[in-house]
Amino acid sequence: MSRFFKSLALALLLGASMPAAFALDDFAAVGRPATPAEIKAWDIDVGPDFAGLPQGSGSVEQGQAVFEEKCAVCHGSFGESNKVFSPLVGGVEKGDLVTGHVAALLRKDFPARTTFMKVATVSTLFDYIRRAMPWNAPKSLNNDQVYAVLAYLLNLSDIVTDDFVLNDRTIRDVQKIMPNRNGMTYEHSMWPSPVFSGKPVKPDTANTACMSKCKAAPELVSSLPDYALSSHGNLAEQNRSFGEVRGRKTAESAPVAEKPTPLKIAETAGCLGCHAINAKGVGPAYAEVAAKYKGENASARLVAKIRGGGAGVWGDVAMPAQEDIKDADLQAVVAWVLAGAAEK
């Protein structure tokens, strides 16, 4: 008997007692049961009630070491950097731990909004660091390292002391003093049911479709300054050369490149995600690489290294193997880097 008829027979047999919502195995031989090991491998989310939180622990001190090695290149040693991403740390005051409202969110003279100023749930940070960090090697931290990194960030935000050890029990105490834990509101109409607000909420604006003499005169409050017109390139090239309008010429046209420049190849291949030309990023600056190998014939070595990946020359962050870039492109990029990585 096919699986479909088996389930049909079962459904008929149990029909009277089965809740209507259950309609198991609707499609014969489509899909298969997930094994417990498979569910365990992917079921990595941790919710605000800490369901799914794994066992483990990490100290502030351990976290500092992991952070310096794997996170500081993007976030800065103290989670303060605005270079690659918005700052993680800053803007939290001692009093916020008591009120559960970050006071700086009301300050007009404090435009920054760091992660710790916003987040209400410490589970969010654990969940995210575990699933997505480090940026170029997600899911490479073990649970103890995740606890440690989070402990270090909590310490930088003055939420826990220098000797604090974060684990699957103490994290619940941390939640009670999260600085913006009371900073969320569900009083809005932008979820399709009142499951959060408890009652239906009307949209917060109520314009009308007035058709004539709707106001005395239009009040023009903002327009694009002239200098900003050219900030997005030559708008003439961003519109067709025929039709009812033309784009305004806002910059000189870039010369048409015969073939992509090495810089463009590097950008397209994703190299610039980790390497910058003059500044150290996740990986070394191209200028540093050029300086190191100056006078050597390092081309073949670097091509092999980029192709196969490697670690240890520039620190402990591994350079992942680059299998997708074409040979000719790779050689062009290496030659360009060794020649000093000119930006033009």
Partner 1 sequence: MAIGLDDDALTRARFDTLQARIRKAPENFLDAGMILEVGRGRRDVLRGAFVAALAALGGSARAVAEEAKPAGEDAILKLPPWSTSLGRPVAATPYGMPSKYETAMLRRQSPGLTQVAASSVSFMPLQGMFGIITPSGLHFERHHQGWQEIDPSQHRLMVHGSSDEFVRKAKVYTLDDLMRIPSVSRMHFIECGANTGMEWGNVAVPTVQYTHGMLSCSEFTGVPLRTLLEDCGVDLKKAKFVLAEGADGSSMTRTIPIELVTSGEAIVAYGQNGEMLRPENGYPLRLVVPGVQGVSWVKWLRRIKVGDQPWATKDEAVHYMDLMPDGQHRQYTSIQECKSVITSPSGGQTLLDKGSYNVTGLAWSGRGKISRVDVSFDGGVNWVGAQLQTPVLPKCLTRFNVGWIWDGGPALLQSRAMDETGFVQPGYRQLRDVRGVRSIYHNNAIQSWKVSESGEVGNVQIL
**Interactions with partner 1, residue window 85-114 (CB under 8 A):** 85, 101-103, 105-106, 113
In single-letter form, the type of residue at position 315 comes to: G
- The residues in 267-306 that bind partner 1, with binding defined as CB under 8 A, are 267, 270, 272-273
Please provide the DSSP assignment of 61-92 as one string.
HHHHHHHHHHTHHHH-TTS---SSS--SS---
Q: Which is nearer to partner 1, 48 or 309 (CB)?
A: 48
- Looking at the Cβ atoms of 246 and 301, the one nearer to partner 1 is 246
Nearer to partner 1, 317 or 338 (CB): 317
Determine if 12 is a binding residue for partner 1 (CB under 8 A).
no
**CA angle 71–72–74, rounded 5-degree value:** 80
Distance CA 333, CA 272 (A): 12
For residue 134, cis peptide bond before it (omega within 30 degrees of 0)? yes
* 134-173 residues near partner 1, rule: CB under 8 A: 135, 138-139
The yes or no reply on residue 31 touching partner 1 (CB under 8 A) is: yes
Q: Report 181-220 residues binding partner 1 (CB under 8 A).
A: 183-193, 195-196, 203-220
- As a whole number of angstroms, the distance between CA 306 and CA 326 comes to 12
Among 12, 221, 254, 257, binds partner 1 (CB under 8 A): 221
Distance of CA 332 to the CA centre of its chain: 31
- Cβ–Cβ under 8 Å, residues 289 and 324: no
Which x/- pattern over 222-261 shows residues binding partner 1 (rule: CB under 8 A)?
xxx-xxxxxxxx-xxxxxxx-xxxxxxxxxx---------
Q: Which residue has the tokens 């600056």?
A: 285
If binding is defined by CB under 8 A, does position 43 make contact with partner 1? Answer: yes
β-bridge partners, 166: 58
**Smaller CB distance to partner 1: residue 15 or 33?**
33
> Is 15 near partner 1 (CB under 8 A)?
no
